[in-house]
Structure formats: C-alpha cells, structure tokens
C-alpha cells in the first residue's frame, strides 16, 4: 500500500510535489534538510536560480561521488554543485538579497505550523542546536513560503496545530503546507485542504490534523 512507503520514499514524494511550486524564472531558497532534495527534481526547461544564504546563487543538483567538492556546500553544510554562471558572495550580501525581498519562493522544513500560518522550525527546547540559522529572515523576506514536512511526528501526533507549542520562527508567514498526506493552503479565514496524496482520504487528513480544515470545492484526491 502507498501508506507503507519507507522514509526515503516519503521524502521523495514530498520533494517531488514541492517542485511543482517552482515556476520558470523564480529565484528560490531551499531550506536545510528535506527541502534541499527539491533541487534534484526540478524539471528540465525550467529556468530556476537556487540561492543559499551562506553565499551561493546558482545551486545545481546534489553531486555524484565523483563531483563532490568539500569546499562547495550549502547552508546545511551539505555538498552541492554549482550551475554554469553561478555566483559566490558574502553572507552579508546573501542576506541583503533575502531582506530585500528578491526571492520569489522559499521552501522550508517545519516542526509545527499553526492554523494562522505561524511556523516553528528552528529548535526543540532542551536539545542541542547550532543556532537559529537564516530562517527568521527568510520567512519575512521571501515572497511566498512553502513548508514541507511529515503530517504527524514520530509519536503519530499532529504537526499542523491550532497553536504552535515550540518557539516560533515567524508569525503568520506560511502560505502553503505540503506533507506526505496532503497540500493545505493557509488563508485569511483558516486552513484549506486542496490536495490529498495517493492512498489517503480527506477524512483521514482531517483526523490527523489538530487545526480545523475546510475542504476545497476543487479538492484533488490522489494528486501526488
């Protein structure tokens, strides 16, 4: 059954669906972790420029073993490739791009999202962290914020909540949520279920979501 996908297949499903949010001509920031996988699925013919907050414009696909350059990394310290014509610059210049609202889209991971579009994705109290990273700037600088994540946590508890319990990255910043089970839009009057992944039903999505969901008149079942 589709519901029994292994973790790698689930992440691939989410990343492939997230790629559809990217339009030709976009400048895009991909967050640390699963969002970086999206780069591997960008369709040929789409003219897309990927930006990393540590100072790289023009990120390519993940490198093969023979292509790995240990000095060429993204903000998550993962090795990457650079497209022809890529640019390197300082961290300060990178954040000037972000704060200047030059990014069309940012795709970020999430620990929790609230019904009003609040995002918590940078820390769990009591756990060791390296720092908050650039997400707090990105969620306010990019023109559209898409969060990708599992629909529930490892304890099978909802991650889409009435109110976030973890420290916030930003308030009312998320535009769309893409999970392994559904695509949900954050609208002024709440959350709208717009797509359901293959193998799931709208009723199951509602049952595994703490926040109230409205169902779109144009709901797409088995969409991805």
| DSSP letter, residue 52 | E
Annotated domain spans of the chain = 9-35+95-220
Residue with tokens 């990457």: 80
Cα separation of 98 and 87, whole Å? 15
Q: Which has the minimum average pLDDT: 36-50, 103-117, 126-140, 188-202?
A: 126-140
pLDDT score for 127: 80
pLDDT score for 125: 81
For 12, residues 6+ apart whose C-beta sits below 8 A from its C-beta are 37
Tokens of 110: 């999430």
For 8, residues 6+ apart whose C-beta sits below 8 A from its C-beta are none
In this prediction, residues 10-33 reach a mean pLDDT of: 96
Residue 14 reports pLDDT greater than 80: yes
Cα separation of 168 and 162, whole Å? 14
Tokens of 203: 């009723």
Q: Hey, CA dihedral for 67, 70, 76, 81, is it positive or negative?
A: negative
Tokens of 181: 């089970």
Residue 1 reports pLDDT greater than 70: no
pLDDT score for 99: 96
37-52 pLDDT, tens per residue?
Answer: 999 999 999 999 999 9
Q: Which residue has the higher pLDDT, 61 or 96?
A: 96
pLDDT > 90 fraction of the chain, expressed in percent and rounded: 88
> Other CB atoms closer than 10 Å to residue 75's CB: what's the count?
23
Which residues in the chain belong to E strands, given as ranges?
Answer: 27-30, 49-52, 56-59, 82-88, 105-109, 112-114, 119-120, 145-148, 160-161, 176-178, 182-187, 190-196, 213-220
> Which class is domain 9-35+95-220?
alpha beta
Mean pLDDT of the chain: 94
CB 129 within 8 A of CB 111: no
User: H-helix or E-strand containing 15?
Assistant: helix 7-19
pLDDT score for 2: 62
Q: Which of these is catalytic: 12, 19, 44, 53?
A: 53
67 catalytic residue (yes or no): no
Q: What is the DSSP string of 77-127?
A: S-B--EEEEEEE--HHHHHHHHHTT--SEEEEE-SEEETT--EE-S--TTS
CB 162 within 8 A of CB 114: yes
């Amino acid at each position: 059954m589709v519901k029994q996908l292994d973790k790698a297949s689930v992440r691939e499903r989410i990343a492939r669906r997230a790629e559809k949010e990217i339009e030709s001509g976009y400048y895009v920031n991909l967050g640390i972790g699963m969002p970086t996988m999206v780069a591997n699925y960008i369709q040929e013919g789409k003219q897309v420029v990927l930006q990393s907050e540590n100072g790289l414009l023009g990120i390519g696909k993940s490198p093969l073993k023979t292509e790995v350059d240990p000095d060429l990394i993204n903000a998550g310290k993962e090795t990457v490739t650079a497209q022809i014509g890529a640019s390197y610059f300082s961290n300060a210049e990178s954040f000037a791009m972000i704060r200047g609202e030059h990014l069309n889209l940012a795709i970020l991971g999430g620990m929790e999202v609230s019904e009003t579009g609040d995002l918590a994705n940078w820390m769990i109290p009591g756990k060791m962290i390296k720092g908050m990273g650039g997400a707090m700037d990105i969620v306010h600088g990019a023109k559209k914020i898409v969060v990708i994540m599992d629909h529930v946590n490892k304890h099978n508890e909802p991650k889409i909540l009435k109110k976030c319990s973890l420290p916030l990255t930003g308030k009312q910043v998320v535009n769309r949520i893409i999970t392994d089970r559904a695509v949900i839009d954050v609208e002024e009057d709440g959350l709208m279920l717009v797509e359901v992944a293959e193998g799931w039903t709208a009723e199951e999505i509602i049952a595994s979501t703490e926040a109230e969901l409205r169902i779109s008149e144009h709901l797409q079942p088995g969409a991805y």
